[in-house]
Chain A
Amino acid sequence: MAIEQDEIEKIAELARIRIAPDQIGPLTQRIAGILGMVDQLQAADTRDVEPMANPLDAVQRLRSDEVTEQNRREDFQAIAPAVENGLYLVPRVVE
């Protein structure tokens, strides 16, 4: 499956990564190369093979619904780029 420049622009947008315009071409080539290698998978016979998400086929463990964490808001806010009155600041979203 060849990948085109406009598809790279689309997935970069989905991944929220800005790509400089002059980088789109070279990046498309690189990713096309990787996807070309990945296409070897298509030759494998995987009929009736169950997909494996966990190497031990473990299932999600649940814990009892008890409060185990302390409130550490100040510690977490101290490492944030911008905070005010206990809130994380981002550029205005709603005018």
Chain B
Amino acid sequence: MHDKSVAQLIAGLRDRHFSSVEISRCFLDRIARLDSTYNSFITVDEDAVLASAAAADTRIAAGEAAPLTGVPIAHKDIFCTNGMRTSCGSRMLDNFTPPYDATIIRRFNEEGAIILGKTGMDEFAMGSSNETSYYGPVRNPWDTNLVPGGSSGGSAAAVAAMLAPAATGTDTGGSIRQPAAFCGITGIKPTYGRVSRLGMVAFASSLDQAGPMAYTAEDCALLLNAMAGHDPLDSTSSEVPAEDYCAGLQEKLQGLRIGLPRQYFDDGLDAATARRIEAALKEFEAQGAHLVEVDLPHSQLSIPAYYVIAPAEASTNLSRFDGVRYGHRCENPADLHDLYTRTREEGFGDEVKRRILVGTYALSAGYYDAYYKKAQQVRRLIKQDFIDCFDQVDVIAGPTTPGPAFALGAKSDDPLAMYLEDIYTLAVNLAGLPGMSLPAGEVDGKPVGLQLIGPHFAEARLLNAAHQFQQATNWHLQRPASANGEVA
């Protein structure tokens, strides 16, 4: 039962082949048995899981099931869960138990989905390898010497290892797509504002967006149906009506115009990864899609623009952690200044401190125009590149990452090398576009992710293209040997 997709679990629950309690026990057992290898979960509350599952079974028996009733879902530990610790991977929030639910958690609860647990992540979602977590690194189920990607690495690893059938993640610069690629699963970052940010610990508020991670595009559509929609409690939430993301999955791709940005296939792309991506694109061509070369001339500037804008927003967002109202507080503060500065010294890890300091610098008097304003201008140029492309094509395709997963520790001492990992994903957040990653092959046993990017609010088009690809290929059905109890 642990290897079933969300769609299969829904069908099995509906047809009474198994109960939610049985499914939930199965995943709890697997977590207890296997997660010491991966470290993908930070918190699992078995009693709460089984109580929710029993309630879901009652609801199903009464004929009142919603689509996701009884389905266990793991949540990135960035989403506030009422009465359940929400650490954001940080010592700062190690003792934080929110008194409310994030909007997406509330929506999943209303559907009767089960909160299976809270997954590991880079501290405050700042990282591309899951190595900045206060709770230790998460390991890649395909090879436990490799990183799972980040920042939603715990969610990606938990799904890849079949410890959860699906999970939520957040993506500020690639944090759903890159770990999905590294762990061989499917994940979508919706359009900025598509999914509520209420109760999602803020990193960079003009970039952050939540989305689902699962085996298939169909499963992502099922979860996105529950997550997407306007939230009056999030002032940046879009009022564009959400769609039924499952409705168009079966549409054929005949005539679909797929843009291939020259800049995404340059020298920075690993040669073996490039071959896998090209093979995947041939499959789209076989289904009647047209491949068109396009240009994103400012894409190289996405890294410097992002590493001004994201830290600037982070430095303001993270100023709330002051040791007064919740979270960590240092022992025996001498005075208020000592309370603030020592609490923040102890509560934040190195990468978070670096980004707060870079952001504070970029926003400080005398540097604002040279850094922050300049980065915002470049951000508009990057967005305009995409708008121009979407005059010619329906979707853009390319690699999710420059290469497959790298070894733990390989880049953790070199922030600039780590930042380069996100070269193909950052621009999508800067432009606010939907983007997704889907499994498209492997290099030496390591999964390769294909990225699809669409115009604003074209999530359904991306999911349709990914679903059609997955009807003809089986990369999304591959599971790591370690998750079957075999030695990796």
Contact = CB atoms under 8 A, between A and B. Distances in A.
**Interface SS of chain A:** loop
Contacts of A78: 99
B274 to A, nearest CB: 24
Given A90-B324, A93-B336, A30 B308 contact: no
Nearest to B311: A34
A35 B192 CA distance: 27
Categorize the interface residue count of chain A.
Answer: 35 or more
Nearest to B384: A49
Contacts of A75: 99
Interface centre among A27, A40, A90 (most CB of B within 10 A): A90
Contact of B416 (A33, A61, A72): A33
Interface centre among A17, A53, A79 (most CB of B within 10 A): A17
A43 to B, nearest CB: 8
A47 to B, nearest CB: 9
Contacts of B456: 56
Interface stretch (B110-118, B151-159, B284-292, B327-335): B327-335
B336 A49 contact: no
B377 A49 contact: yes
A51 B235 contact: no
Contact of B304 (A7, A40, A76): A40
B358 to A, nearest CB: 6
A88 B192 CA distance: 36
A91 B338 contact: yes
A37 B419 contact: yes
Interface in A5-34: 7-8, 11-20, 27, 30-31, 33-34
B484 interface: no
Contacts of B325: 76, 79-80, 88
Interface of A: 1, 3, 7-8, 11-20, 27, 30-31, 33-35, 37-42, 44, 46, 49-56, 58, 60-61, 63, 72, 75-76, 78-82, 88, 90-93
- The 6 A-B residue pairs with the shortest CB-CB distance, nearest first, are A55-B432, A51-B376, A46-B377, A81-B329, A18-B341, A52-B380
Given A40-B301, A76-B326, A90-B336, 18 more contacts: A1-B367, A11-B360, A15-B360, A16-B319, A16-B341, A17-B357, A27-B353, A27-B357, A30-B354, A34-B416, A38-B308, A44-B377, A53-B376, A54-B206, A55-B431, A81-B326, A88-B325, A91-B334
